[in-house]
Amino acid sequence: MSLKATFERNRQRYEEELTDFLKIPSVSARSEHKQDLARCAEWLAGKLTEVGMAAEVIATPGHPIVYGELLEAGEDAPTVLVYGHYDVQPVEPLDEWESPPFEPTVRDGRIYARGSADDKGQIYLHVKALEAYREAVGTPPINLKFIFEGEEEVGSDNLENFVRNNKERLASDACVVSDTPMLAADLPSVVIGLRGLVYIEVRLRGPRQDLHSGAYGGAVTNPANALAGMIAALKDDKGRITLPGFYDDVIEPSDEEKKALAEIPTTEKELLEQTGAPALGDGEEGVHFLNRIWTRPTLDVNGLLSGYTGEGAKTIIPATAMAKISLRLVPNQDPEAVTQALEEQLRSLLPVGLEMEIERHSWGLPWYSDPAGPLFRAASTAVKEVFGRGPLFIREGGSIPIVPMIERELGVPVLLLGFVLPGSNLHSPNEWLSIEMYHKGIATVTRLYDAIAREYRA
Ligand code: BES
Ligand code: MN
Ligand code: MN
């Protein structure tokens, strides 16, 4: 049977199985979901077994890793490592979801559910691609190793150790990851740059308890005022981050990339529609809005907490203030050096009368890859066969810390080939996956097997 007929015949089942996958609430950040992650890993490993892989669930000090192998193409054939994550982000605020996050619902050709786009739908399309290929054609012409983790959204700590300690087992010629968006339904995209990440939590402590702001205000330092001022001082009036030496290691995009940017049809209006923001911010002066996301570093407050936030007014000086602050970094910035500069800057900005604690959370290296060589040629071929045109090579503003790590530790090129449309509400309420892109993803991956086999044998 042809691949096309196989896709047609199984189309509905591919969607139903994804729905089952999406029903499992695999929220890695929440300890109350620990059992759900374990159950999700078992479910996924079962599916890998069903499509002919030798699969296992590997326990870690955190959530398990799912690993599967199909090494039937022979020693001369190339081996491809497919990475993805089955954990998802928390779902709050729940009342903003039009249908419950773990009851997948189809509306307007989209599956709405937490994890549909990031990243369960995008790993499951690899599972179904392998199934379809075996059903329609037979054993794929490449060896396949699937590694799916349950801790991407919380920093991939245990996967990092696993990769470091299992280099031989994971040895491969290329790595393929579907965990990124594409520019539009008719603009397939390969992502060649990701930002890195530094994430800290700052806690300020002033008086022993909340105080009457009339009785003490003016004499006692207010932690909320102080924190607001400290955060404000981290950027200047041109939108530039004030940490000393912060921009020294930033690499300008190449002329080729600058030229490519002019051909990208994404508009500011689309960004406004996606976000619902009343207008785009000033951002960094003189930088194209896409480059502000793709090739320039940023600093953002991700959470802020202090004082009285209930109904009406309450005149107090809060005892504490807390902020979660992250920076997105670009090549060649060093997360460790940036964290140290940030900690030092915050210490120097701290007014008298307060104590400060800084806790470090996740971090990740920025990443950039020159889209040359057999892997990228194969991707172009496969994409062209399914979408009728080759991919755009773009950068993205998000982070996947394991990507630079896999590239370095295993010494393989990484292809980021994702099928998520812009505005899919990753990490937000009402996350969705285009059903059409899911099926096109399955088809593209089957074409990629052949294209990689050809390119690596040539
Ligand atoms: N799939 C995303 C990364 C992504 C998002 C890449 C948008 C390109 C565009 C990934 O699951 C993610 O959310 N990563 C985190 C990293 C963190 C938790 C260490 C991120 O970017 O915030
Ligand atoms: Mn993801
Ligand atoms: Mn994510």
Interval 306-331 mean pLDDT: 98
The domain made up of 196-250+297-364 has a fold known as Alpha-Beta Plaits (3.30.70)
Write out pLDDT tens, residues 136-181: 999 999 999 999 999 999 999 999 999 999 999 999 999 999 999 9
Q: Whose CA is nearest to atom 8 of ligand 1?
A: 398
Give yes or no on whether 3-194+368-457 and 196-250+297-364 have one common fold.
Answer: no
Using the mean position of ligand 2's atoms as its centre, give its distance from the Cα of residue 299 in Å: 20
Q: Whose CA is nearest to atom 19 of ligand 1?
A: 155
Q: Whose CA is nearest to atom 13 of ligand 1?
A: 153
Whether pLDDT at 196 is above 90: yes
pLDDT band at 251 (very low <50, low <70, confident <90, very high): very high
Q: Whose CA is nearest to atom 20 of ligand 1?
A: 399
Write out pLDDT tens, residues 88-116: 999 999 999 999 999 999 999 999 999 99
Whether pLDDT at 336 is above 70: yes
Domain boundaries along the sequence of the chain: 3-194+368-457, 196-250+297-364
Whether pLDDT at 349 is above 80: yes
Q: What is the mean pLDDT of the chain?
A: 97
The number of C-alpha atoms within 13 Å of 26 and in the hemisphere containing its C-beta is 33
The CA distance from 123 to 82, in Å, is 9
Using the mean position of ligand 3's atoms as its centre, give its distance from the Cα of residue 363 in Å: 14
Probe residue for ligand 1, chosen from 86, 302, 400 as the CB with the greatest number of ligand atoms within 8 Å: 400
Q: Whose CA is nearest to atom 5 of ligand 1?
A: 398
Probe residue for ligand 1, chosen from 149, 197, 399 as the CB with the greatest number of ligand atoms within 8 Å: 399
The amino acid that residue 241 corresponds to is I
The pLDDT assigned to 236 comes to: 95
Interval 312-337 mean pLDDT: 98
The pLDDT assigned to 284 comes to: 87
Ligand 1 closest atom vs CA 399: 21
Residue 400 tokens read as 């996947």
The pLDDT assigned to 458 comes to: 67
Whether pLDDT at 67 is above 80: yes
Indicate whether residue 329 lines ligand 1 (CB < 6 A): no
The CA distance from 133 to 5, in Å, is 11
Using the mean position of ligand 2's atoms as its centre, give its distance from the Cα of residue 217 in Å: 46
Using the mean position of ligand 2's atoms as its centre, give its distance from the Cα of residue 118 in Å: 5
Using the mean position of ligand 3's atoms as its centre, give its distance from the Cα of residue 37 in Å: 16
Write out pLDDT tens, residues 311-321: 999 999 999 99
Whether pLDDT at 324 is above 90: yes
The pLDDT assigned to 119 comes to: 98
Using the mean position of ligand 2's atoms as its centre, give its distance from the Cα of residue 179 in Å: 5
Q: Whose CA is nearest to atom 14 of ligand 1?
A: 399
Closest by CA to 287, choosing from 245, 335, 238, is 238
Using the mean position of ligand 2's atoms as its centre, give its distance from the Cα of residue 416 in Å: 11
- Produce one character per residue of 120-152: b if its CB has 16 or more CB atoms within 10 Å, e if not: bbbbbbbbbbbbbbbbbbeebbbbbbbbbbbbb
CATH class (in words) of the domain with range 3-194+368-457: alpha beta
Indicate whether residue 179 lines ligand 1 (CB < 6 A): yes
Write out pLDDT tens, residues 399-458: 999 999 999 999 999 999 999 999 999 999 999 999 999 999 999 999 999 999 999 986
